[in-house]
Chain A
Amino acid sequence: MRLELREITKRFPGVLANDRISISVDKGQVLGLLGENGAGKTTLMNILSGLYKPDSGEILVDDQPRVFSDPHAAIAAGVGMVHQHFMLVPVFDVVEAVALGAETVRGPLHTFDRAAARRRIVELSERYKLNVNPDLKIETLPVGVRQRVEILKALYRQSDILVLDEPSAVLTPSETEELFGIIRSLAASGTTVIFITHKLNEVIEVADKIVVLRRGRVAGTADPKTATRQELANLMVGRDVELIVPKGPAKPGDVVLNIKDLVVRDDRLELAVKSVDLDVRAGEILAIAGVQGNGQTELVEAITGLRTIDSGEITIGGRHVEKATPRQVSDLGVAHIPEDRGRDGLIAFMSVAENYILDTYHRQPYSRRGVFDLKAVDERATQGVRDFDIRTPSIRTLVTALSGGNQQKVVVAREFSVPVQLVIAAQPTRGLDVGSIEYIHRRIVEQRDAGAAIVIVSTELDEVLAVGDRIAVMFDGRIVGILSGDDATLENLGLLMGGAKFGEGTAA
């Protein structure tokens, strides 16, 4: 079906979320809707799914004006949603989860006709190569499969227009590839797909047509065949951005972080880090690539004193820290940008100022004999907000009210507010938009040039390639290869991440 939005406008108190947005997408086409956080993508999607009513403007399905007064109306019109956060009942099996709310019934008592539902699900799964086992429980499925169950749900409801909201945010690179295959086969069989994302590569790869949103408006459209990442990024941000932060060659100095034969167990007491050796020198960035869950988290926790180690040695600046507490490690001048900023790095219901001092609050000038110097706290926090361009109404604003990019800037500003010799940054730009990624990378490179040793753990190959002076690949608890930044390519990193042996062709 063809979908057209005409001059859609939606206002919230104080914000014009969608300002006369007009887009159209033809039957069987894949529309890539690109925009930063806060560009109005989500509002537009909620209008499409019947959750919000537009203040003005029209929605046309096959050139017929339609009013989506509620989500049912949108589904009835053939619009299916796949949300970023899945809406599946964990204890249901796939058949139950897909049929929920749209059950086929039979008999006088309207009992659930499981066999019929299962038949249709199997048929759909085969037709679109979704490869979902209908009898498995949702909670046992990996994230990528759960997403395909969501897609099945939409197809089961006979959606001809499928809207995917940031679908790759939770996927591994190979799962993302599979998803793109599915999108292509859906489009080929006539389903219209709207693909919402802030990732440039993805729209270029999978979309037939790209619309870029910025601050609630259509900033431009592009043809994926000819558009470059740079053009799209500039359209998205509204200025020239640097996708790859310029940096000079590394000038490695003394070894700052030295890890020897490190063995660490995870929470279930299984071996997560199996004999890792690593040297990181002052003035260089070592990027650790790898699919999530190959021991990176445990490695970082071991270095920062958050996890007790099984055996091995860790020294930072020549000091042994195998048994150090997080405070002792931090006091050595180690900045830690944790993997999950919301859970580990920030206290959502404290203010920007209070979060700014989260791991330095006990030191001068903030604390004198255990009593806060509130003036010093305010001054430094104000300084940090200014230096790191943190967009916040005030330093008293609760950190939960900030956007993801600004929250991460609070973390980075705090970690870099004291001199550091070692930076451990885990997924430092996860979920951030292009502008924020550029900013964070720039700050990390600055620290490198100032002589700090940097470890960046990332699952994003783009990020690893953009900032790593050396790139280590972690697989199944081991470092399976270390490449120099110049030798690394998407291909050889991808192979190593998948568990290929470190071979001849990938000399370090």
Chain B
Amino acid sequence: MKSLRSLLRRAIVPSLAVVTALLLGAVVIILTDFENLSRIGTDPLGAIGAAVGGVFNGYGAMLTGAFGDPERIRLAFENPSDRTIATAIRPITETLVAATPLIFVGLAVAISFRTGMFNIGGDGQLIVGALGATIVGVGLQTSGLPSLVILVIAIAASVVFGGLWGFIPGFLKARTGAHEVITTIMLNYIGAQVVLFALLGPALRAPGSSQPISKNMSAWVDVPSIISLPAIRLDYGFVAAMVMAAAVSLLLFRTTKGYELRAAGFNMTAARYAGMSAGGSMMLGMTLSGGLAGMGGGFLVIGATGQLTNDLSGGIGFNAIALALLAGLRPSGVVAAGLLFGALTTGGKVMGIQSGIPFDLLFFIMAMVIMFVAAPGLIRSIWRVRVPKPAPEVASVAPTAPAEPV
């Protein structure tokens, strides 16, 4: 009971941040609805009513786009067939598909931040991990191995590649003091160029394509679907993300290694005084972080996309930083925030198509969410909630440490 209450208490600020951001988003929708606003002089009530109606339209489309259309769900119940069921559940499964890489990279960011390492290199680690999976996937095309075996090797390769991409900045920091923010950002560029180089060569590139796109591997290796219905992409990558969230939580809060990582993250000197190896923690934290981001890339490229492109990550690395902070660096929070961001992006696309409100509004809303989470005092005063202040934070190190395991 007590843990439930503390969970709810921790969720107050993030939840209110989302609500506030959506309300501000509504204001932006109204203020940019020039068509309706242009007749505010002649028909003020009608104009404002129509503009507000536009908000409901847009957010309604976002909701159905992210979670499903009640009408279609009803149809699926009345007349169950593969097609109707697929149509009904497609939005929610797409949300989970979008959330999967975000959760992987969000976990990666959380684990590195907890170690006191500001890993800005999620993008690079994800795409280099994806490259590892692609090399294995394409390389084993003619091996005759079963899909599942290739999958396992490919994912292992993605972890190794991503882990290496994380280990490099960790090693540089531990040995030379090179700041990880700089090195991880630079490795993002290098990673992108390495992938581009690999895709331009004949070994991986899709036959006949002049674009930097790899062969589509789905014919011989794929991540198994959870639900085998047409047009449903949800696969076991999502399950793997959940498992990893649990694993990260156990690692951080139930093992001595995790304890060392957290101790070093909070106070390097005290960790050293206690006989821990601070440099070891930096390298381990960054390697694990890179491995997780790489695994996200592996599942993405083998599962959802089936092929590697050099713009695969699409900014996931940066969104994941925001997401991990929103989550208070807790694995359970990363899952929740990942689902939220997944729902916003999936629903936002539908909103863009159906209501004409540009998809880009989503960036505004997500940015607002992050800003409000970063300023809990603002949320408290807007909503007049008395949230017990979290323990004073070392602002730049890591948001609120939980005193108990998540």
Determine whether B90 belongs to the interface, using a CB cutoff of 8 Å to chain A. Answer: no
| Residues on the B chain within 8 Å of A346, using CB | 267, 270
Smallest Cβ distance from B115 to chain A, in angstroms? 13
Q: How many A-B residue pairs have CB under 8 A?
A: 80
A358 touches B256 (CB 8 A): no
Shortest Cβ distance from B389 into chain A, in angstroms? 11
Q: State which of B120-128, B213-221, B271-279, B299-307 sits at the interface with chain A.
A: B271-279
Q: Does B157 sit within 8 A of A, measured CB to CB? A: no
| Pairwise interchain contact A306-B273, C-beta atoms closer than 8 A | yes
Q: Is the CB of A358 within 8 A of B263?
A: yes
- Min distance, Cβ B336 to any Cβ of chain A, angstroms: 22
Among A65-73, A203-211, A235-243, A336-344, the stretch in contact with B = A336-344
A239 to B262, CA, bound (A): 41
Report A353-380 residues with CB < 8 Å from chain B CB.
Answer: 354, 358-359, 361-362, 366-367, 370-372, 374
Interface residues of B in 382-403 (CB under 8 A from A): 391-394, 398, 401, 403
Question: Given A326-B275, A400-B391 in contact, is the A347-B267 Cβ separation under 8 Å?
Answer: yes
A400 touches B392 (CB 8 A): yes
User: B residues within 8 A CB of A370?
Assistant: 255-257
B266 close to A (CB within 8 Å) = yes
Given contacts A348-B266, A349-B391, A351-B403, contact A372 B259 (CB under 8 A): yes
Shortest beta-carbon distance from A471 to chain B in Å: 26
Q: Which residue of the partner chain, among B271, B276, B391, contacts A401 with CB atoms under 8 Å? A: B391
Which of B266, B272, B275, B276 is within 8 Å of A349, CB to CB? B266
What residue in chain A is nearest B405 (Cβ atoms)? A374
Q: How many residues of B contact A (CB 8 A)?
A: 26
In the complex the two chains form, is A344's CB within 8 Å of B259's CB?
A: no
Chain A residues lying within 8 Å of B228, measured Cβ to Cβ, are none
A398 within 8 A of B: yes
Chain B nearest CB from A292 CB (Å) reads 18
Which of A330, A348, A372 is in CB contact (< 8 Å) with B254?
A372
Confirm or deny: A397 has a beta carbon within 8 angstroms of a beta carbon on chain B: yes
For A348, list chain B residues within 8 Å (CB): 266-267, 394
The interface centre, meaning the residue of A304, A346, A347, A400 with most chain B CB atoms within 10 A of its CB, is A347
The reply to whether A372 and B256 contact each other, CB–CB distance below 8 Å, is: yes
CB-CB < 8 A to B270: which residues of A?
343-347, 358
Cβ-neighbour of B401 out of A350, A362, A374 (below 8 A): A350
Q: Is the CB of B391 within 8 A of A398?
A: yes
B274 touches A358 (CB 8 A): yes
**Taking the nearest CB of chain A, how far is it from the CB of B165, in angstroms?**
26
Residues of chain B contacted by A11 (CB below 8 angstroms): none
Complex: chain A residue closest to B276, CB-CB: A327
Q: Which residues of A contact B267 (CB under 8 A)?
A: 343, 346-348
Bound state CA distance, A374 and B250, in angstroms? 12
Residues in A with CB closer than 8 Å to B271 are 347
Q: How many residues of A contact B (CB 8 A)?
A: 33
Chain B residues lying within 8 Å of A349, measured Cβ to Cβ, are 266, 391, 393-394, 398, 401
Q: Are A397 and B266 closer than 8 Å at their CB atoms?
A: no
CB under 8 Å from chain A, chain B span 362-398: 391-394, 398
> Is B404 an interface residue when CB atoms closer than 8 A count as contact?
yes
The answer to whether A350 and B273 touch across the interface, beta carbons within 8 angstroms, is no
A316-334 interface code vs B (CB 8 A; 1 in, 0 out): 0000000001110010000
Decide: A367 near B256, CB < 8 A? Known: A396-B404, A397-B403: yes
For the complex, what is the distance from the CA of A336 to the CA of B273, rounded to whole Å?
A: 9
B235-261 Cβ-contact flags toward A at 8 Å (1 or 0):
000000000000000000011110100
Partner of A398, one of B262, B272, B401: B401
B266 touches A343 (CB 8 A): no
Residue B354 is within 8 A (CB to CB) of chain A in the complex: no
CA distance A397 to B403 in the complex (A): 7
Closest partner residue, chain B, to A354 (CB atom): B259
CB A307 to nearest CB in B, in angstroms, measures 11
Give the complex CA separation of A370 and B257 in angstroms.
7
Q: Which residue of B lies closest to A349 (CB)?
A: B401
Q: Which residues of A contact B (CB under 8 A)?
A: 304, 306, 325-327, 330, 336, 338, 343-351, 354, 358-359, 361-362, 366-367, 370-372, 374, 396-398, 400-401
Which B residues fall within an 8 A CB radius of A? 254-257, 259, 262-263, 266-267, 269-276, 391-394, 398, 401, 403-405
Known contacts A350-B266, A396-B404; 9 further A-B pairs (Cβ under 8 A) = A325-B275, A343-B269, A348-B394, A350-B263, A351-B403, A354-B403, A358-B270, A362-B256, A398-B391
Question: What are 11 pairs between A and B in contact, CB < 8 Å?
Answer: A336-B273, A345-B273, A346-B267, A348-B266, A349-B401, A354-B263, A361-B256, A372-B255, A374-B254, A397-B403, A398-B391
